[in-house]
Homo-oligomer: A and B are copies of this chain.
Amino acid sequence: MATTGGDRQPKYQRIANTLREAIQAGEYVPGDRLPGENDLMATHGVARMTARQALGVLQNEGIAESRKGAGVFVRAFRPLRRRGIQRLSREQWGAGRSIWSADIEDRTLVVDQVAVTEEPAPERIARVLDIAPDDAVCVRSRRFVLDGKPVLLATSYLPASLVAGSAITQEDTGPGGTYARLGELGAKPVHFREEVRSRMPSQDEANRLSLSMGTPVILICRTAFADEGRPVEVNEMTLDSASYVLEYDFDA
């Protein structure tokens, strides 16, 4: 694609266009370091602020990302694969494995923050769980880290009346996790709904997931249903979009 309207564009845009075209032409491949501010100042005869703005454009577009003290690099996409359906199959969590273990293939996903509280149900959660607003819910908040990088925030809500006294109210839910415990409580999940959307992160989400500029988040709201369509858990997940591919496999 040629640089159109070049003369009417601000200088930093024209420099950004040049770099973008070089990336699209394969002159810089994912992981390559782009010319730095000093390089761009010398090559294009511009001020530092102009060079910085040009690199900022590519970062906002998600094409490049800054690494502290090392420069700006062409973004690589090497995601985790999250299998929505097989992941939740009874074979997996029924056998005492965490539902997360299928996510990680040969890399290690670790919970580095966990908090379990009891709170009045937020209105949107009460609606999905079919309980009265302000009925108590058990809230399990976790952050998952891959190779030291936070990739996922997950907050589960379960009716407090259902899970009271079980290991679900503890940080460590035991073998098989929350779903195995729900089974012991007579509320085995048999059906799931996942709703998926994407948007730019809030400042708080960007901080907690260490997102670089130009990185959206994927939101998954998963509802687990026991027999007779009874909702027993809502899990709101916020994923670093640069770290994830979601996969759903199903028959016609």
For A201, the closest partner residue in chain B by CB is B61
Which residues of chain B have C-beta atoms less than 8 A from A191's C-beta?
249-252
Interface 1/0 per residue, A226-240 and B, CB below 8 Å: 000000000000000
For A93, the closest partner residue in chain B by CB is B252
B195/A198 in contact, CB under 8 A: no
Is there a chain B Cβ closer than 8 Å to A104's Cβ? no
Consensus secondary structure, chain A interface: mixed
Chain A's interface size range is 35 or more
Is there a chain B Cβ closer than 8 Å to A218's Cβ? yes
Interface 1/0 per residue, A89-107 and B, CB below 8 Å: 1100000000000000000
Is there a chain B Cβ closer than 8 Å to A28's Cβ? no
A199-B216, A200-B216 as given contacts; A252 in contact with B90, CB under 8 Å: yes
B245/A193 in contact, CB under 8 A: no
Is there a chain B Cβ closer than 8 Å to A84's Cβ? yes
Q: 14 more A-B contacts (CB under 8 A) besides A62-B200, A198-B218, A248-B248?
A: A61-B200, A61-B203, A77-B199, A88-B252, A90-B252, A190-B252, A192-B251, A192-B252, A193-B248, A193-B249, A196-B247, A197-B241, A197-B246, A198-B241
A-B contact pairs, 18 of them (CB 8 A): A60-B200, A61-B202, A62-B199, A63-B200, A85-B248, A190-B251, A191-B250, A191-B251, A192-B251, A192-B252, A195-B246, A196-B196, A196-B248, A197-B245, A197-B246, A199-B241, A216-B241, A248-B248
